[in-house]
Structure 1
Amino acid sequence: MLSQRIRELKPAATLEINAKRLELIDQGREIINFGVGEPDFDTPEFVRRAAQDAIDHGWTRYTPVPGVAALREAVASQVSKTRGVGVDASEVIITNGAKHALAQALLARVDRGDEVLIPSPYWVSYPEMVRVCEGQPVAVPTSAADRYKVTPSTLEPFVSPRTVGLILNSPNNPTGAVYQRDELDALLAFAEENDLWVLSDEIYEDFVYDGVFASAWTEESRRSTMLVSGVSKSYAMTGWRIGWLVAEPGFVKQLTRLQSHTSSNATSVSQAAALAALSEDGRSFCHSMLDRFRHRRSRTVELLGAIDGVVVEPPQGAFYVFCDVTGVLERPGAPSTSQELCLAALDRAGVALVPGEAFGVERALRLSYACSTANIEKGIEALRRYFDELS
Structure 2
Amino acid sequence: MLSKKALNISPSPTLAISAKEKQMKSEGIDVIGFGAGEPDFDTPDHIKEAAIKSIEEGFTKYTPAAGIPDLKKAISAKLKKENGLDYNPTEIVISNGAKHSLDNIFAALLDPGDEVIIPAPYWVSYPEMVKLNDGIPVYIETNSTTCFKITVDQLKETLTSKTKALILNSPSNPTGQVYSREELKKIAKFAVENNVFIISDEVYEKIIYDQVEHVSIASLGEEIKKITAVVNAVSKTYSMTGWRIGYTATPQALATAMGDIQSHLTSNANSIAQKASLAAITGSQDCVEVMRKAFLERRDYMVNRVKEIPLLDCLTPQGSFYLFVEVGAALGKSFRGEVINDVDQFAQCLLTGYQVALVPGSGFGSPDCVRLSFATSMENIQEGLKRIEAFARELS
Is the TM-score greater than 0.5?
Answer: yes
Aligned equivalent of 1:327, options 325, 329, 336 = 329
Which residue is 1:215 aligned to?
A: 216
- Residue identity in the other structure for 2:62: Y
Aligned equivalent of 1:234, options 232, 237, 256 = 237
Which residue is 2:296 aligned to?
A: 294
Aligned equivalent of 1:224, options 206, 227, 235 = 227
Deviating more after overlay: 134-143 vs 1-10: 1-10
Which residue is 1:120 aligned to?
A: 120
- Residue identity in the other structure for 2:381: I
The CA deviation string for residues 161-190 of structure 1, in whole angstroms up to 9 with x for no partner, is 111110000000000010011111111111
Equivalent positions of 1:1-391 (< 5 A) are 1-14=1-14, 16-210=16-210, 211-218=212-219, 219-220=221-222, 221-281=224-284, 283-333=285-335, 334-391=339-396
Change beyond 3 A, Cα 1:24–1:197: same
- Residue identity in the other structure for 2:360: P
Task: Point out where structure 2 has 5 or more consecutive residues left out of the alignment.
Answer: none
Change beyond 3 A, Cα 1:19–1:56: closer
Change beyond 3 A, Cα 1:204–1:331: same
Following the alignment from structure 1 to structure 2, what is the Cα–Cα distance between the partners of residues 348 and 17? 15
The CA deviation string for residues 26-80 of structure 1, in whole angstroms up to 9 with x for no partner, is 2211111100100000000111010000000000000011111000000001011
TM-score with structure 1 setting the length: 0.98
**Does the Cα contact within 8 Å between 1:17 and 1:343 map onto a contact in 2?**
no
**Does the Cα contact within 8 Å between 1:114 and 1:136 map onto a contact in 2?**
yes
1:217: how far off? 1.7
- Residue identity in the other structure for 1:59: F
**Does the Cα contact within 8 Å between 1:118 and 1:140 map onto a contact in 2?**
yes
SS at match of 2:390: helix
SS at match of 2:217: coil
The CA deviation string for residues 89-134 of structure 1, in whole angstroms up to 9 with x for no partner, is 1110100001100011011111111111000000000000011111
Following the alignment from structure 1 to structure 2, what is the Cα–Cα distance between the partners of residues 84 and 15? 35
Following the alignment from structure 1 to structure 2, what is the Cα–Cα distance between the partners of residues 29 and 51? 36
Deviating more after overlay: 206-215 vs 16-25: 16-25
- Residue identity in the other structure for 2:356: V
RMSD: 1.1
Q: Percent identity?
A: 40
1:15: how far off? 5.1
TM-score with structure 2 setting the length: 0.96
Following the alignment from structure 1 to structure 2, what is the Cα–Cα distance between the partners of residues 195 and 122? 22
SS at match of 2:10: coil
- Residue identity in the other structure for 1:47: I
- Residue identity in the other structure for 2:248: L
Following the alignment from structure 1 to structure 2, what is the Cα–Cα distance between the partners of residues 201 and 153? 22
Change beyond 3 A, Cα 1:262–1:183: same
SS at match of 1:214: coil
Following the alignment from structure 1 to structure 2, what is the Cα–Cα distance between the partners of residues 23 and 44? 29
1:16: how far off? 4.6
Following the alignment from structure 1 to structure 2, what is the Cα–Cα distance between the partners of residues 16 and 195? 37
The CA deviation string for residues 332-372 of structure 1, in whole angstroms up to 9 with x for no partner, is 44511110110111111111100010101112100000011
- Residue identity in the other structure for 1:140: I
**Does the Cα contact within 8 Å between 2:169 and 2:201 map onto a contact in 1?**
yes
SS at match of 1:200: strand
Following the alignment from structure 1 to structure 2, what is the Cα–Cα distance between the partners of residues 299 and 74? 36
Following the alignment from structure 1 to structure 2, what is the Cα–Cα distance between the partners of residues 120 and 380? 26
SS at match of 2:161: coil
Following the alignment from structure 1 to structure 2, what is the Cα–Cα distance between the partners of residues 376 and 326? 22
SS at match of 1:314: coil
SS at match of 1:278: helix
SS at match of 1:321: strand
1:249: how far off? 1.6
Change beyond 3 A, Cα 1:15–1:38: closer
Residues paired across the two proteins, number:
390
The CA deviation string for residues 269-302 of structure 1, in whole angstroms up to 9 with x for no partner, is 0000000001241x11111111111111000101
Following the alignment from structure 2 to structure 1, what is the Cα–Cα distance between the partners of residues 181 and 234? 23
Following the alignment from structure 1 to structure 2, what is the Cα–Cα distance between the partners of residues 374 and 187? 41
**Does the Cα contact within 8 Å between 2:18 and 2:36 map onto a contact in 1?**
no
**Does the Cα contact within 8 Å between 1:17 and 1:342 map onto a contact in 2?**
no
Deviating more after overlay: 21-30 vs 168-177: 21-30
